[in-house]
Amino acid sequence: MTRDRRRRLVNRAMEALATLAALVAVAVLAIVVVSVARRGAGAVSWDFFTKPQALFGQPGGGIANALVGTALLVLLATAMALPVGVLTAIYLTECLQGSRRS
Amino acid sequence: MAAALACLVLVGAIVWKILELSGDSFDRFGFGFITARSWDPVKHVFGALPFIYGTAVSSLVALVVATPQAIAIGLYLSELAPRGVRGIVGSLVELLAAIPSVVLGLWGILVLGPFLAHHVEPSLHNTLGFIPLFGDPQQTGQGLFTAAVILTIMIVPIVASISRELFLGVPRELEEGALALGATRWEMVRGVILPATRSGIAAAVILGLGRAVGEAIAVTQVIGGGTRIGWSLFPPADTLASKIASSYQGAGSGLETSSLLYLAAILLVLGLIANLIAQVIVRRFDPLRGARS
């Protein structure tokens, strides 16, 4: 009887720990997102997204150049990686018949 | 086939170039570089040991904290969570992996570092100070410990989602068999699920290790920079990756650049070894493999 109770208690404790672990991960995510959003909220405006970076020392300006740069970078990288990646995958699955695939 | 070859050629070219460029430093310091403790651009004396130490400590601490938590999350998501919660929590955990590392690093500087420095480190020092790992707290929050926490946050979602998939892949009949014999859910997990997936878990952990060892930017942002080697986890340090990221732009001499590339070569070898070990583990020790294929 006591052995049975102990088994059930251990089971309950482990279930609680697993749930707690998941909660902690979600909480960390929430903390990161909320604190970044709170600190950044003050700077967000229409100008922030549409104006290029101000000259050094001048107030104002935005991140338009960074946005465009990111978009171009992603576009170029995808354009180069997609054909190579797909072709490699085709080669690995179709042309290597009989050898060990992992 | 040309595309596949291109990938191999690219990897080869990168490795070759790194080795070639680190040649100067290798000629000068040889393998002694790995165990030399000083990094002094003024005197042209360079050594890798502080960075190897920083890499090892930050990744190991992160791994020790992250592994149990990630496995627990995997178990929760695959066995415990109610159907509705499962999808939500699962995708939230994966979102954690989607945070760009620069953002995480910035958060580490602004929020996590000060919090650790003013609350966590003093209390750890006061309660567990007799263990040399928990030395005097830092004022700035920049240090090895902060980097390890950031790395933990980065590894957990990866290992958790891999282990969830592994746990879901355990055959239903095995689990139900254990439950039918009167095992509690935890006994079923320990007796059936964990043994059946242990090779996969090991591989997932090594994948996480690879991520932790190679992570550059977030670590550079929070680790502070320094070449101290000692027991305490709190002071600033540097990892191989963070040293390369923070010093390459300002490297003063050809020898320093070459030494940084030597660090890169060490990092590359470590990454290769981790990958090979993971593959060997998956091939050799997978008890379900025979049943599956």
A11, B107: Cβ pair inside 8 Å?
A: no
B186 touching A, CB under 8 A?
Answer: yes
A7 touching B, CB under 8 A?
Answer: yes
A75 touching B, CB under 8 A?
Answer: no
Chain-centre distance of CA B227, in angstroms?
20
Residue with tokens 């000083």: B38
A24 touching B, CB under 8 A?
Answer: yes
Q: Residue B127: count other Cβ atoms within 10 Å of its Cβ.
A: 10
The larger pLDDT score, comparing residue B278 to residue B181, is at B181
Q: Over the stretch B249-277, which tens digit does the pLDDT of each residue have? A: 777 777 888 888 888 888 888 888 888 88
pTM for the complete prediction?
0.82
A22, B81: Cβ pair inside 8 Å?
A: yes
* Interface ipTM > 0.85: no
Q: What is the DSSP letter of B45?
A: B
| pLDDT attached to residue A102 | 46
Distance from CA of A57 to the nearest CA of B (A): 23
Contact B71, B159 (CB under 8 A): yes
pLDDT band at B7 (very low <50, low <70, confident <90, very high): confident
d(CA B161, CA A88): 26
Q: Over the stretch B69-125, which tens digit does the pLDDT of each residue have? A: 999 999 999 888 888 888 888 888 888 888 888 888 889 888 888 888 888 887 887
Superfamily of domain covering B45-286: MetI-like (1.10.3720.10)
Rounded to the nearest 5 degrees, what angle is found at the Cα of B73, between the Cα atoms of B106 and B182?
Answer: 170
Distance from CA of B216 to the nearest CA of A (A): 19
Question: Which of A11, A21, A85 lies at the smallest CB-CB distance from B185?
Answer: A11
B157 touching A, CB under 8 A?
Answer: yes
Contact B63, B277 (CB under 8 A): no
| pLDDT attached to residue A76 | 95
Q: Which two tokens stand for residue B122?
A: 């003093």
Distance from CA of B181 to the nearest CA of A (A): 14
d(CA B236, CA B49): 15
d(CA A22, CA B78): 12
- β-strand partners of B224: B237
B186, A83: Cβ pair inside 8 Å?
A: no
Residues of B in contact with A9 (CB under 8 A): none
Q: Over the stretch B241-253, which tens digit does the pLDDT of each residue have? A: 888 888 877 777 7
pLDDT band at B292 (very low <50, low <70, confident <90, very high): very low
Which value, in Å, is the radius of gyration of the alpha carbons in chain A? Answer: 26
| pLDDT attached to residue A35 | 87
| pLDDT attached to residue A96 | 67
d(CA B9, CA B11): 5
Find residues 38-57 of chain A whose CB sits inside 8 Å of chain B: 39
A17 touching B, CB under 8 A?
Answer: yes
Domain ranges of chain B: 45-286
Q: Whole-number mean pLDDT of chain B?
A: 84
| pLDDT attached to residue B291 | 47
Cα–Cα nearest to B91, from B107, B106, B103, B77: B77
Residues of B in contact with A32 (CB under 8 A): 99, 103-104, 107, 153
Distance set, CA B247 to CA B56, B108, B241, B290 (Å):
20, 20, 10, 49
Where chain A has pLDDT below 50, the residues are 101-102
Residues of A in contact with B187 (CB under 8 A): 7, 11
Q: Is the pLDDT of residue B201 over 60?
A: yes
A91, B186: Cβ pair inside 8 Å?
A: no
pLDDT band at B129 (very low <50, low <70, confident <90, very high): confident
**Chain A residue at shortest CA distance from B73:** A22
Distance from CA of A58 to the nearest CA of B (A): 24
Question: Which of A11, A29, A84 lies at the smallest CB-CB distance from B184?
Answer: A11
Q: Residue B195: count other Cβ atoms within 10 Å of its Cβ.
A: 13
Cα–Cα nearest to B179, from B79, B83, B82: B79
| pLDDT attached to residue A99 | 53
Cα–Cα nearest to B150, from B50, B226, B62, B63: B62
Residue with tokens 């066995």: B79
Distance from CA of A51 to the nearest CA of B (A): 22
Q: Over the stretch A2-18, which tens digit does the pLDDT of each residue have? A: 888 888 888 888 888 98
**Chain A residue at shortest CA distance from B95:** A29
A83, B3: Cβ pair inside 8 Å?
A: yes
A19, B111: Cβ pair inside 8 Å?
A: no
**Chain A residue at shortest CA distance from B185:** A11
